[in-house]
Amino acid sequence: MADPLDTLRRPPRDLRVSVTDRCNFRCRYCMPKEIFGRDYEFLDRDLLLSFEEIERLVRLFTRLGVRKVRLTGGEPLLRRDLETLVGLLAAVPGIEDLTLTTNGTLLARKAESLASAGLHRVTVSLDSLDDATFSAVNDVGAPVGAVLQGIEAAAAAGLTPVKVNVVLKRGVNDHEIVDIARRFRGTGHVVRFIEYMDVGHTNGWRLDDVVPAVEVVRRINEVFPLAAVDRGYRGEVAERFRYRDGAGEIGVVASVTRPFCGDCTRARLSAEGMLYTCLFATAGDDLRALLRSGAGDDTIEQALRSVWERREDRYSETRSEHTRGLPKIEMSYIGG
């Protein structure tokens, strides 16, 4: 059967799987303490998809054409025995790229076992190289050094290239753009500077806080000359630039100032089995109920096809006062 296409003729190629809604950070742009405090009720364990249920859904998604799977959270390394899930997914025929996004604080102790289980690469979030700034951003006092150790452990384990994600916010960490680029030049790691996005309703997003990607490229280019690189595949979100002296590359993700939704090939699976077809979704489809009702593989596959074929999401291209007022799912719930 042919791969399904949505209403904009986009095929499903990427699946982001949240394995937990919990995180050990309280980043202001994602899980602010005022909302996700001590009394916040996270999902009970029995509500989470089991590893076997996740593997089954991933296997069915490959029938639709999905080739890349990224494990996210929350913080995915908080999910106990995550290596077991990695091993299950690594054995699924058709998966060409199995990756994980993490804040890196637990990565030093986990990198080798994740690589042995079959993980291909990791993306690490690191919004500052300055301990005071980084501590203020993560709001739990986590030090930069722990994340840098995690990055090096991942590289040593072969989880390369390591991608380092930097969410920029005006007046918070934009003064570090060149310093961060300098820190990872020549290391083989790829830094991706991400425009601060209006995901969910708890991060206090304002357009004035956004540092445009064009400014990021200009500031780095003034110190380390850059040349544009063609996108590597359909649906790639980062615009890529290489250092002209051969010291590697950077990327910028300009979802606010230069939206790329029109070619998006991503689906998102929440930790308790809700399927979302956009990071800015207002509602999802309950796959856990379908799984636990005893439905067969063909029935579930047809449900996945149906959801994808009616998909029409392109939020960042149609952003307006009206769409900003609609309810949206928090980023911590379905991953970035």
User: Counting runs of H as helices and runs of E as strands, what totals does the chain give?
Assistant: 11, 12
pLDDT at position 325 is 55
For residue 321, is pLDDT > 60? Answer: no
pLDDT at position 322 is 42
- Sequence-separated (6 or more) residues with CB below 8 Å from residue 119: 86, 90, 98, 99, 100, 159
Can you list the domains of the chain with their CATH numbers? Answer: 14-334 (3.20.20.70)
**Separation of alpha carbons 132 and 240, rounded Å:** 30
**Separation of alpha carbons 64 and 253, rounded Å:** 27
Residue 9 DSSP label: S
For residue 229, is pLDDT > 80? Answer: yes
For residue 71, is pLDDT > 80? Answer: yes
Instruction: Give 91's pLDDT tier (boundaries 50, 70, 90).
Output: very high
- Looking at this protein, which amino acid is placed at residue 271? A
pTM as predicted = 0.92
Helix 107-117 / helix 144-156 crossing angle, nearest 10 deg: 20
Task: Give the residue-averaged pLDDT of 282-306.
Answer: 96
